[in-house]
Structures are given as structure tokens and as C-alpha cells.
Amino acid sequence: MTKEQKEELKKIINQMIKSVEEEIKRLEEKVAPVSPDVSLGRLTRQEALQEKSINDSILRTAKARYKRLIYASQKVDGANFGLCRECDEPIPYERLKIMPESTICMDCIEADD
């Protein structure tokens, strides 16, 4: 991977980190507890609890991705960045632009299925 490609990936990673941080803040507002004394109808209350549960799951996923992006930002200058941890082959640059936190190539992912 060229130095220019690594610089571009750093920018992409930083943009993604900011985006995920904003998503986390938005989701944390949505997962506030649904108070039992709020006068909602039974179905409306169930819907609110279901939506909270869904948003909790999305929030956990966003926090996990945030951690992986932070890790990628710390490793992007390393010699092993962009190499598959299973086969040591380079992960395609186009894939890294979409998912810079990728640590396994598609061939190895498909081989595990």
C-alpha cells in the first residue's frame, strides 16, 4: 500500500470516527429508559420498549465499530495494516476504503462459512 493510500485511509477513518460518534450520541438519547409512569397506552408503551430494545442493539454495534475504527487509526501506519490476519495477504484497498477496520480478507471470511 502506498503512502498516499494510507493518508487517504487516515482521512476516511477520521471521518468515520466522527460519524459514528455522532450516531452514538443520537442513539444514547433514544435509549433513555421508558418511565412506567408515562401515560402511554399499553400498545404504545410496548412499541416504545421495542424501539428502545432495537436502538440498544444498534448502539452496541456502533460502539463496537467505534472501537475497531479507533484501533485502525492507531495501526494504519504499521507494516501489517491492510494485511489479512488469517492468510497475511493484502486486503484490497477498495475494501479498506469502505471498511478500514477490516482485518480479514473476503476469501478467508468466505472460507469460514
> What is the mean pLDDT of the segment spanning 67-77?
96
Q: Which residues contact 97 (CB under 8 A, 6 or more apart)?
A: 8, 9, 12
pTM of this structure: 0.82
Q: What is the pLDDT of residues 8-29, one digit of tens each?
A: 999 999 999 999 999 999 999 8
Q: Which residues contact 81 (CB under 8 A, 6 or more apart)?
A: 1, 6, 72, 75
Supply 9's cell numbers. Answer: 485511509
User: Over pLDDT 90: what percentage of the chain?
Assistant: 73
